[in-house]
Structure formats: C-alpha cells, structure tokens
Amino acid sequence: MATLTPKLAVQLASLAYEIKEPSSSGLYRFGKSAPDVDRAFQFDLTNGPIQGISGGILARMLKRSSGFAMVGKGKAGYQGDHVIAIRGTASLADGITDAHIGLTGGDNNSLIHAGFNKTFHSMKPALENALSPLLSRSSNGTVHCVGHSLGGALAHITADWVKRRFKNQVFLYTFGAPRVGLDGFAIKTSTNIDRIFRCTHAADPVPMVPLWPFVHAPYQGQEVLLAPGQGISFNAHKMAMEASPGYLNTANNNSWANLQTQSGINHSTVRLHYENRHQASFSGYWADKISSGLITLLKDAGYYSAVMAQAAIGTGLTFYDMLARTLEAVAKASGKLAEQTRGLLGHMLVFARQVVTTVTELSFNFIRWVFDKTLAALYRSARDAISSVM
C-alpha cells in the first residue's frame, strides 16, 4: 500500500488538465511526457473521462459538461490500487473569491463550499459507475485522489466520499488547493481520509482562500511546503514555469521525507499590537497571522461561538457584514478589546498595502471598509493565479 511519490502525484495532477475527450484507442498512454505515470497506472478512456458540470446558473441549466477526472488502475508497484486525478476549472474561480460564498451540506453532513459541492455532485454518478465494478469486490487496494488548484478541492471531496462509500484505504494529494469547508468538514475529513498530502508554495495565494471561517484539512497536522517565497505571487500557483520553479519542478522527488513540512494548524493564539502594524506585509505568513489574530480577538471577547453559529446558518447579511458588526460591538465592550481591534485592523491595512494605515475610528463602516480592502487584495491575486493555469 505505497503512497504515490511526489513526482508521480504532481504529474498526475498536471495531466488531468489534458484529458477532456474520449480516446479512440481506448487505453491512454502519456508516453515521453510522463513515462512514470504510464509505468504505474493504466487508463482506459474508451468512454472518455469522468464528466462534470461547473460554472454559472446558465451552464448548469443547459447541463454543459466537460471532462473532469480520469480513473486509472495500478500496476508496477501499485497493483490493486486505483487513482483518480481531477482537473481544476476556471469557472469556479469567482466562486472562491466572492464575499457572498454559499455554503451547503456535504455528503458527510458538514458545511462546504456550495460551488465545489455542485460540481462534485455532477461528477458523482459517473464516479459511481466507474468505481463500483473496480472497488465493490475488494477493499484491499488504496485509492489515490489527486488534484491541482480547484481540482484539489474536488479531489478532497471525492476522497472523503470514496472512503465512506467503498471503505478502501484512501490517500489524498493536493497541490495549491483552496479551502473547501468550515471546521466541521476539516475535522471529519482529517479523521476519515487515511493520509493527506497538502502541498503548497509559500507565495501561492490560492491555498489562502476562501478566507476564514473556511479552514484547511488536516485540521491539525502538516502541509508540504514545496517552495519558500516572499510576498504573494500568482505565478507561484502554476504547475510549471519557465522563469521560476513550479509544482512540476519542485515536487520532482521520489520521497515525501525529503520535502519540507510546516505546521498546518489552522488556529493559534495571536494578539496584534497597533504599534507593530508596519511589520506586516502582503504575504502568506501574514495572511495566516491576521486570520489567527481575528479568531483570537473573537475568542477573547466571547463572540467566537456565536459568529461560527451564524456562519453555519447564514444571515441576510454577508459574513463580513456580520463580522464587522461583531467587531464594532467587541471594540465597545472594553478599552483593552478596543486596542486589540485597532491592532488587528492596522495590520490588515498594511497587509493590503493601503497608503492610509492609521486607525482613528472603530465604527461598522470603517471596519467593513478595511475588510473590503483586505479581501480585494488577496482575492485579486487568487483570481489571477487561477486564470494563469486555465
């Protein structure tokens, strides 16, 4: 029950973008472009790849589908195993960068991104038809679920479903994937999926969105940092680049033990002081630290549970409208909490590279404006990153 090597996993994630039509010869070979994949797995695309539907309301009404995933049977060291490689889709890009992100109940009864869930459910019947003959007779083989970018989000949901549906051992490998759901989903899938390899570049903005209350799985564990980086760059999201290393190059390794890991814990206690705000920068490190500072502030004020409950049931306001109202109330509760709120907002403005970084008021309108500037800076980078690989 071997894991995929980093090199093999990233090649599979990349090749998923190429398979959108049936193969006239049935068995599909990648040849010189990916000989390791051909040696490890066999793909029968006589009936084409797994189809899925994504995009806006019109696309779903017209049921416009396209190839999303390929299923392979293992050989040469992976006998008895299967792989599901899923591509990303540009049509979901706006969905993860929208302040009105919808939540819906996933198959494991936890809240996840509505757009990802709709696309997964459009693929689910075809996945069932493809996997049932292969997995129903035996649960001894491992199912490897692989995806890059938005395909990583879909691979995450797929891996959780495969584990619950077929009971096989399931390994998940994602590269530059966004957050899929709230903490309930992260906790459940961390427990359910046997191994999770969440691979990132430090400068890649896509794994930073959607912003909290969405969180990553493993809920508490490790992420594989494939490359360090200064600041945030949409180029860091690409699978391979001529000018700088991409996922294909930095994961060109046959052992996970040789790659750097860092803590993937979603929540840590951080209290941000206003006078230190100019230490912040537009980087993944500070995106995480500001998120932790917000969570810490809500917990210190006793509002965290109420905010999470409101996020789960939804309100007439956007989540960030509700959060701005909450922070306004927090700031009025005590002088100490007001200073902690000023510290958070000051750091957010420096992170968003705003010329005006002085916090002079703690009103709803000002707090909401700070959120808008912070969201816009990060989400603009994420949209550019996703568009660059489609």
Q: Which of 80-94, 191-205, 240-254 has the highest mean pLDDT?
A: 191-205
Mean pLDDT of 367-389: 89
> Of 220, 246, 266, which residue sits at a domain end?
266
The beta-strand segments (E) located in the chain are: 27-28, 41-44, 50-53, 65-74, 82-86, 103-105, 111-113, 142-148, 169-175, 195-201, 222-227, 260-263
- Given a contact cutoff of 8 angstroms between Cβ atoms, the answer to whether 202 and 260 are in contact is no
285 or 248: which carries more pLDDT confidence? 285
Mean pLDDT of 97-116: 79
263 or 382: which carries more pLDDT confidence? 382
- Given a contact cutoff of 8 angstroms between Cβ atoms, the answer to whether 332 and 382 are in contact is no
Q: Does residue 171 form part of some domain?
A: yes
Are 248 and 315 contained in the same domain? no
Could you tell me what percent of the chain has a pLDDT over 90? Answer: 40
Are 325 and 370 contained in the same domain? yes
Are 349 and 301 contained in the same domain? yes
Are 332 and 199 contained in the same domain? no
Rg of the Cα trace of the chain?
A: 21
List Cβ<8 Å contacts ≥24 apart for 284-288. 284/202, 284/203, 284/204, 284/205, 284/207, 284/208, 284/229, 284/232, 285/202, 286/347, 286/351, 287/208, 287/232, 287/351, 287/378, 288/208
pLDDT tens digit string along 109-155? 888 888 888 889 988 998 999 899 888 766 689 999 999 998 999 99
Say which amino acid occupies 183: D
Are 197 and 298 contained in the same domain? no
Are 261 and 315 contained in the same domain? no
Are 293 and 315 contained in the same domain? yes
Backbone angles phi, psi at 261, to 5 degrees: -120, 155
Q: What pLDDT is stored for residue 246 in this prediction? A: 65
Q: Does residue 390 form part of some domain?
A: no
Size (the chain), residues: 390
Residue 60 binned pLDDT confidence (cut-offs 50, 70, 90):
very low
Q: Which domain holds residue 23?
A: 6-266
Q: Does residue 150 form part of some domain?
A: yes
> Of 213, 233, 266, which residue sits at a domain end?
266
State the CB neighbour count (10 A cutoff) for residue 384.
16
- Given a contact cutoff of 8 angstroms between Cβ atoms, the answer to whether 55 and 36 are in contact is no
User: Rounded to an integer, what distance in angstroms lies between the CA atom of residue 47 and that of residue 12?
Assistant: 19
pLDDT tens digit string along 27-56? 666 666 677 888 889 888 777 677 777 655
The residue assigned the tokens 């430090």 is 202
Are 205 and 287 contained in the same domain? no
- Given a contact cutoff of 8 angstroms between Cβ atoms, the answer to whether 276 and 342 are in contact is no
Are 56 and 85 contained in the same domain? yes
When the pLDDT of each residue in the chain is averaged and rounded to a whole number, the result is 83
Find the range with the poorest average confidence among 17-21, 75-79, 164-168, 266-270.
17-21
Are 206 and 243 contained in the same domain? yes
Q: Does residue 161 form part of some domain?
A: yes
Are 34 and 179 contained in the same domain? yes
pTM of the model: 0.89
State the CB neighbour count (10 A cutoff) for residue 133.
8
Q: Does residue 1 form part of some domain?
A: no
> Of 235, 266, 297, which residue sits at a domain end?
266
In 3D space, the residue among 336, 388, 341 whose CA is nearest the CA of residue 367 turns out to be 341
User: Rounded to an integer, what distance in angstroms lies between the CA atom of residue 367 and that of residue 132?
Assistant: 51
Find the range with the poorest average confidence among 5-9, 19-23, 87-91, 136-140.
19-23
Q: How many domains does the chain have?
A: 2
* CATH (domain of 116): 3.40.50.1820
Q: What pLDDT is stored for residue 182 in this prediction? A: 87
pLDDT tens digit string along 161-184? 999 999 999 999 999 999 999 888
Residue 62 binned pLDDT confidence (cut-offs 50, 70, 90):
very low
pLDDT tens digit string along 328-358? 999 999 999 999 999 999 999 999 999 877 8
pLDDT tens digit string along 182-235? 888 999 999 999 999 999 988 899 999 888 888 888 755 568 888 777 788 888
